[in-house]
Structure 1
Amino acid sequence: MKKKIAILFGGQSTEHEVSRVSASSVLRNINRDKFEVRAIGITKDGKWFEYKGEIDNIEKGSWESDDNNKINNGQNILFNKEVEAVFPVLHGLYGEDGTIQGLCKLLEIPFVGPGVLSSALCMDKVYTKYVLENFGVKQADYVVVHRDKYKKNKEKLLDVIENKLNYDLFIKPSNSGSSVGITKAHNREELEMGLEKALKYDRKILVEKSINAREVEVAVLGNESPLAAVPGEIVPAKEFYDYEAKYENEASKLLIPANLTKEEQEYIKNLAVNIYKMLDCEGLSRVDFLIDKDTNEVYLNEINTIPGFTKISMYPKLWESSGKCYKELIDELIELAINRENR
């Protein structure tokens, strides 16, 4: 008997388009001999539809106008428990932040990826820092900016940031992914502009001290006994790995494996698994690090609980280089979800 699986795509976040591409890749590679698949699209305004048309239309975004293959029963598939597991290929808010995970928990349907608490914690960059500080994990120095305080006394907050952190600085919405809303500031004018931009995406902003660093990412997989794949390194086409550098600029490079000694690889893999456990992650996550080019110190950058699954995404590429092909990876993620629920 084939297991009935729902693949969720789209969503209401700024990463809607990336989600469609990731989900299209999953839909093309999932084992149809093993799984009966229901594709459920969520529009930017929150409407759910089952989609039975061509996968290419999902990737291009034209699925929404394909009324002949779009059925207004997307939510009912979950509420009526017509599937045995859910694979939420939903990056960002309302997909990666514990909301979909909470819905699946209420409906008692297994789902791929970490649970409610870890999803919410990892989505919020500020609270990730708060929690991991207590475990002694090295992170870049930072200041948290709240919208209401910024609006009331902008100049004072700018002074506080400049006094605590020297330029250059990164400005990040606390709840955002795919580098959406992130800027780099080299002076006060750029800092103010970056805060104004980030505040369009979130009411809570993280300002971090920039580190002259290499970017290394580790794919982690598993429940109680997680394993890490070979680390990979990003060489961005621009000054930093923003949205355009990730998805549109072909000059950005992924080095797999990362240019590390065997000892350094093992150290960073073990660190990734430990951080995964500290945040109570299960299923999968990609743990991203910064390695200081001057001191070789390793700093946590962030954790992504639903990392990209596009054809150029690091997570599946790292596992492929570690001997686990894309189709096998999808199989294992679904099995991990079902095993966790049975547990």
Structure 2
Amino acid sequence: MRIVVIGGSGHIGTYLVPRLVRAGHEVTSISRGLRAAYTDAPEWRQVRHVVVDREQQDHEATFGDTVAGLNPEAVVDLVCFTLESATALVERLRGEIGHLLHCGSIWRYGPSHALPISETTGTAPVGEYGIQKDRIARMLKNETADGGLVTTSLHPGHIVGPGWHPIGPLGNLDPAVWATLSAGLPLRIPGVGAELMHHVHADDVAQAFERAIQRRDAAAGQDFNIVAPTALNVRGFAHQAAAWFGQTASLEPVTWEEFRRNTPPEHAQASWEHLYRSHFCSIEKATTLLGYAPSHQPQAAVLESVRWLIDHDELKVAGPLIA
């Protein structure tokens, strides 16, 4: 099959593109051309690369023409963030291709009320990013239900993998959290420490996209949560992370007001965004219809990412990993 992957050099594409090549597909990767994939693989030598500034072409209303001009049979869109952009692509590809797959986010759900969250039990999204992802998923579902383009939306959790910083135990990207835990120093945690985060390894997300392509009929018009088999809460995550360095986590619960006073604003806000939602999502639908079988538990996926960052001098910690 001829498959176009939009955003092929990103977190998911790094794993998805080689998977598709190994499966025998003819793959074209569209990206801005600013960086290579996070990890190298021999399959990339068989991939056609097209450099495109999507934002500019969306503004010019030409991006759909660029994609259609590649004559794909399926399109995987990993970097679409607005309903307007998604709708324009659907309208251009309607009748041209057999399957459009979109990467959403579990932030299409708002703060959790009942756990685990299925594709039908999430609360209304909060924040523009989540609102747009939810609108896109609903539009795609309606498009297929109305007899138009066959579409599927997959909604990953917090994507983890070697080459980038993972969402850490406080729900942010603050490197000081890892330094504190690795040194066995007290770590201030906002709230009660029971707030949840649901990670997923990038290769497991890639697996889900590959299976959705393979099982087009089962995936048609559907939306799927794509996360690890289990989720992590703040205190459990912190204790596991400290143990990787031979330490015991010393946790000091504080109010959100105090946490904000003593945390850089961007990290404090990121913590609130993640922990306020407190997501734990079900993968029952994806396992049943797609055969999705994630191979990474969240703590192992995060450890892999942390190890890579330390080995490449991109994360400073107080002692060596012993995990």
- Name the TM-score class by shorter chain: 0.3 to 0.5
The normalised TM-score by structure 2 is 0.36
The normalised TM-score by structure 1 is 0.34
Q: Which has the higher strand share?
A: 1
